[in-house]
Amino acid sequence: MGCSDCKSGGGGCESHKGPQRTVIDEVLAAIYPDRTWGRPDDEARFRAGIREREARGLARSLSTAAKAPTYFRDGGQDDLCHYIYVLCLGREPALVDVRDGLAPPEADRVRERYLRVHLSTVARLATIQEVAMELDRTPDGWVLRELPRPGVYDAKLLKRMRAIVDLIEASDIEHLDFGMVDKPVADADVAEYSGRYGVEPALVNFLFYAQPARTNATVLLHPTG
Protein backbone atom coordinates (compact mmCIF):
# COMPACT_ATOMS: atom_id res chain seq x y z
CA MET A 1 0.00 0.00 0.00
CA GLY A 2 1.24 3.43 -0.88
CA CYS A 3 0.39 6.99 -0.07
CA SER A 4 -2.37 7.06 -2.72
CA ASP A 5 -4.75 5.19 -0.41
CA CYS A 6 -5.02 8.14 2.03
CA LYS A 7 -8.33 9.30 0.59
CA SER A 8 -9.73 5.94 -0.48
CA GLY A 9 -10.49 4.30 2.84
CA GLY A 10 -7.25 2.32 2.96
CA GLY A 11 -6.50 3.26 6.54
CA GLY A 12 -3.97 5.97 5.78
CA CYS A 13 -0.74 6.27 7.73
CA GLU A 14 -2.04 4.42 10.79
CA SER A 15 -2.31 1.17 8.84
CA HIS A 16 1.41 1.37 7.99
CA LYS A 17 2.81 1.97 11.46
CA GLY A 18 2.74 -1.64 12.66
CA PRO A 19 4.67 -2.98 9.65
CA GLN A 20 7.03 0.00 9.81
CA ARG A 21 7.85 -0.73 13.46
CA THR A 22 8.64 -4.32 12.50
CA VAL A 23 10.94 -3.20 9.69
CA ILE A 24 12.73 -0.73 11.97
CA ASP A 25 13.26 -3.37 14.67
CA GLU A 26 14.64 -5.86 12.15
CA VAL A 27 17.02 -3.34 10.57
CA LEU A 28 18.32 -2.10 13.93
CA ALA A 29 18.94 -5.67 15.10
CA ALA A 30 20.89 -6.48 11.94
CA ILE A 31 22.83 -3.23 11.43
CA TYR A 32 23.35 -2.16 15.06
CA PRO A 33 23.61 -5.39 17.07
CA ASP A 34 25.22 -3.52 20.00
CA ARG A 35 22.87 -0.50 19.53
CA THR A 36 25.75 1.98 19.47
CA TRP A 37 25.36 5.10 17.34
CA GLY A 38 28.12 5.57 14.79
CA ARG A 39 29.10 1.89 14.77
CA PRO A 40 26.99 0.04 12.20
CA ASP A 41 27.96 -3.53 11.39
CA ASP A 42 29.90 -3.09 8.14
CA GLU A 43 29.37 -6.70 7.05
CA ALA A 44 25.61 -6.51 7.63
CA ARG A 45 25.21 -3.21 5.78
CA PHE A 46 27.44 -4.15 2.83
CA ARG A 47 25.30 -3.80 -0.32
CA ALA A 48 22.19 -3.72 1.90
CA GLY A 49 21.31 -0.10 1.24
CA ILE A 50 20.57 2.08 -1.78
CA ARG A 51 23.60 2.75 -3.92
CA GLU A 52 24.36 6.04 -5.63
CA ARG A 53 23.53 4.90 -9.16
CA GLU A 54 20.07 3.73 -8.11
CA ALA A 55 19.51 6.90 -6.08
CA ARG A 56 20.35 9.10 -9.07
CA GLY A 57 17.95 7.09 -11.22
CA LEU A 58 15.23 7.52 -8.61
CA ALA A 59 15.80 11.27 -8.62
CA ARG A 60 15.07 11.35 -12.35
CA SER A 61 12.00 9.14 -11.96
CA LEU A 62 10.71 11.22 -9.04
CA SER A 63 10.84 14.34 -11.18
CA THR A 64 8.39 12.70 -13.58
CA ALA A 65 6.18 11.18 -10.88
CA ALA A 66 5.97 14.37 -8.80
CA LYS A 67 5.92 16.70 -11.83
CA ALA A 68 8.59 18.82 -10.19
CA PRO A 69 12.34 19.48 -10.52
CA THR A 70 14.54 17.20 -8.40
CA TYR A 71 18.10 17.65 -7.17
CA PHE A 72 20.32 14.75 -6.10
CA ARG A 73 22.84 15.36 -3.34
CA ASP A 74 25.13 12.78 -1.79
CA GLY A 75 25.31 12.63 2.00
CA GLY A 76 28.15 14.05 4.05
CA GLN A 77 30.99 12.09 5.62
CA ASP A 78 28.94 11.05 8.67
CA ASP A 79 25.63 10.57 6.85
CA LEU A 80 24.10 7.24 5.91
CA CYS A 81 21.89 8.42 3.07
CA HIS A 82 21.56 10.10 -0.29
CA TYR A 83 19.34 13.18 -0.52
CA ILE A 84 16.83 14.07 -3.22
CA TYR A 85 15.33 17.56 -3.00
CA VAL A 86 11.95 17.86 -4.75
CA LEU A 87 11.09 21.50 -5.48
CA CYS A 88 7.38 21.87 -4.70
CA LEU A 89 6.94 25.63 -4.26
CA GLY A 90 9.41 27.83 -6.09
CA ARG A 91 11.09 28.15 -9.46
CA GLU A 92 14.43 27.49 -11.06
CA PRO A 93 17.24 28.28 -10.52
CA ALA A 94 16.42 26.59 -7.22
CA LEU A 95 17.93 27.75 -3.96
CA VAL A 96 19.46 24.32 -3.39
CA ASP A 97 21.65 25.04 -6.44
CA VAL A 98 22.33 28.58 -5.21
CA ARG A 99 23.38 27.15 -1.84
CA ASP A 100 25.81 24.74 -3.48
CA GLY A 101 27.37 27.33 -5.78
CA LEU A 102 25.76 25.94 -8.95
CA ALA A 103 23.67 29.05 -9.68
CA PRO A 104 23.83 32.72 -8.64
CA PRO A 105 21.17 34.46 -6.56
CA GLU A 106 18.64 36.17 -8.85
CA ALA A 107 16.49 38.08 -6.36
CA ASP A 108 16.72 39.88 -3.04
CA ARG A 109 14.09 37.68 -1.37
CA VAL A 110 13.08 34.12 -2.26
CA ARG A 111 10.97 31.54 -0.40
CA GLU A 112 10.89 27.88 -1.51
CA ARG A 113 9.47 24.66 -0.14
CA TYR A 114 10.86 21.17 -0.78
CA LEU A 115 10.19 17.57 0.02
CA ARG A 116 13.60 16.18 0.99
CA VAL A 117 13.79 12.45 0.34
CA HIS A 118 16.38 10.45 2.27
CA LEU A 119 17.54 7.13 0.80
CA SER A 120 19.43 5.01 3.32
CA THR A 121 22.78 3.44 2.48
CA VAL A 122 22.48 0.82 5.24
CA ALA A 123 19.09 -0.68 4.29
CA ARG A 124 16.42 -0.28 1.62
CA LEU A 125 14.65 2.46 3.53
CA ALA A 126 13.45 5.97 2.73
CA THR A 127 11.87 8.78 4.68
CA ILE A 128 10.65 12.24 3.65
CA GLN A 129 10.94 15.58 5.42
CA GLU A 130 9.51 18.97 4.51
CA VAL A 131 12.20 21.64 4.13
CA ALA A 132 11.93 25.38 3.58
CA MET A 133 14.69 27.43 1.98
CA GLU A 134 14.80 31.21 2.38
CA LEU A 135 17.06 33.75 0.69
CA ASP A 136 17.41 37.39 1.83
CA ARG A 137 19.71 40.13 0.60
CA THR A 138 21.77 41.89 3.28
CA PRO A 139 24.44 44.62 3.09
CA ASP A 140 27.09 41.88 3.18
CA GLY A 141 25.53 39.59 0.57
CA TRP A 142 22.76 37.03 0.67
CA VAL A 143 21.76 34.91 3.67
CA LEU A 144 20.37 31.50 2.70
CA ARG A 145 18.66 29.39 5.36
CA GLU A 146 17.63 25.73 5.16
CA LEU A 147 14.83 25.06 7.66
CA PRO A 148 13.71 21.43 8.03
CA ARG A 149 10.40 20.54 9.68
CA PRO A 150 9.75 17.36 11.70
CA GLY A 151 7.73 15.70 8.96
CA VAL A 152 5.44 16.96 6.20
CA TYR A 153 2.74 19.43 7.25
CA ASP A 154 1.90 21.73 4.34
CA ALA A 155 -1.29 20.45 2.66
CA LYS A 156 -0.02 21.82 -0.67
CA LEU A 157 2.74 19.20 -0.63
CA LEU A 158 0.61 16.13 0.05
CA LYS A 159 -0.25 15.27 -3.57
CA ARG A 160 3.42 15.15 -4.48
CA MET A 161 4.15 13.32 -1.24
CA ARG A 162 1.75 10.54 -2.25
CA ALA A 163 3.32 10.28 -5.70
CA ILE A 164 6.81 10.04 -4.20
CA VAL A 165 5.82 7.36 -1.69
CA ASP A 166 4.12 5.29 -4.39
CA LEU A 167 7.23 5.34 -6.57
CA ILE A 168 9.54 4.53 -3.63
CA GLU A 169 7.47 1.52 -2.63
CA ALA A 170 7.18 0.38 -6.26
CA SER A 171 11.02 0.40 -6.28
CA ASP A 172 11.09 -2.17 -3.45
CA ILE A 173 12.12 0.43 -0.88
CA GLU A 174 10.35 0.64 2.47
CA HIS A 175 8.98 4.10 3.17
CA LEU A 176 9.03 5.13 6.84
CA ASP A 177 6.83 7.97 8.07
CA PHE A 178 9.15 10.66 9.41
CA GLY A 179 7.33 10.61 12.73
CA MET A 180 8.35 6.97 13.11
CA VAL A 181 12.08 7.75 12.87
CA ASP A 182 12.03 11.03 14.79
CA LYS A 183 12.11 9.07 18.05
CA PRO A 184 14.90 7.88 20.39
CA VAL A 185 16.33 4.38 20.22
CA ALA A 186 15.63 2.42 23.38
CA ASP A 187 18.64 1.07 25.30
CA ALA A 188 21.13 2.57 22.84
CA ASP A 189 24.67 3.72 23.56
CA VAL A 190 24.56 7.36 22.44
CA ALA A 191 27.43 8.89 24.41
CA GLU A 192 29.46 9.78 21.31
CA TYR A 193 26.49 11.44 19.62
CA SER A 194 25.46 13.39 22.71
CA GLY A 195 29.01 14.60 23.17
CA ARG A 196 29.12 15.86 19.59
CA TYR A 197 25.64 17.38 19.21
CA GLY A 198 24.50 18.01 22.78
CA VAL A 199 21.29 15.98 22.37
CA GLU A 200 20.37 12.31 22.12
CA PRO A 201 20.04 10.83 18.62
CA ALA A 202 16.80 9.69 17.07
CA LEU A 203 16.22 6.69 14.82
CA VAL A 204 16.74 8.95 11.82
CA ASN A 205 20.34 9.46 12.96
CA PHE A 206 20.95 5.70 13.08
CA LEU A 207 19.39 5.05 9.67
CA PHE A 208 19.79 8.19 7.55
CA TYR A 209 21.80 11.27 8.55
CA ALA A 210 23.94 12.52 11.40
CA GLN A 211 22.65 15.95 12.41
CA PRO A 212 19.57 16.41 14.65
CA ALA A 213 16.36 16.39 12.61
CA ARG A 214 15.51 20.02 13.30
CA THR A 215 18.95 21.45 12.52
CA ASN A 216 18.75 24.76 10.65
CA ALA A 217 21.63 25.63 8.35
CA THR A 218 22.64 29.17 7.34
CA VAL A 219 25.00 30.12 4.52
CA LEU A 220 26.28 33.63 3.71
CA LEU A 221 26.78 34.16 -0.03
CA HIS A 222 29.06 37.04 -0.96
CA PRO A 223 28.62 39.09 -4.14
CA THR A 224 31.10 38.30 -6.91
CA GLY A 225 32.90 40.78 -9.05
Which tens digits make up the pLDDT trace of 117-176?
A: 999 999 999 999 999 999 999 999 999 999 999 889 889 999 999 999 999 999 999 999
CA triple 66-69-71, angle to 5 deg: 110
Tell me the per-residue pLDDT of 31-50, one tens digit each, with 9 for 90 and over.
999 999 999 999 999 889 99
Q: Which of 10-19, 26-35, 107-116 has the lowest mean pLDDT?
A: 10-19
**In contact, 94 and 111? CB cutoff 8 Å:** no
Q: Which helix (H) or strand (E) holds 11?
A: none
In this structure, what DSSP letter does residue 101 have? T
Q: Which domain range does residue 204 map to? A: 3-221
- 1 band by pLDDT with thresholds 50, 70 and 90: very low
What pLDDT score does 4 carry? 41
Residue 194 has a pLDDT of 95
Do 50 and 119 touch, CB atoms closer than 8 A? yes
Which residues are 116's β-sheet partners? 85, 129
- The values of phi and psi at residue 138, to 5°, are -130, 170
Helix/strand/coil percent split, the chain, to 5: 35, 25, 40
pLDDT at residue number 69: 98
Of the pLDDT bands very low, low, confident and very high (cuts 50, 70, 90), residue 9 is: very low
| pLDDT at position 8 | 45
Question: In total, how many domains does the chain have?
Answer: 1
Average pLDDT of the chain to the nearest whole number: 92
pTM of the model: 0.91
- Give the Cβ contact number of residue 20 at 10 Å: 19
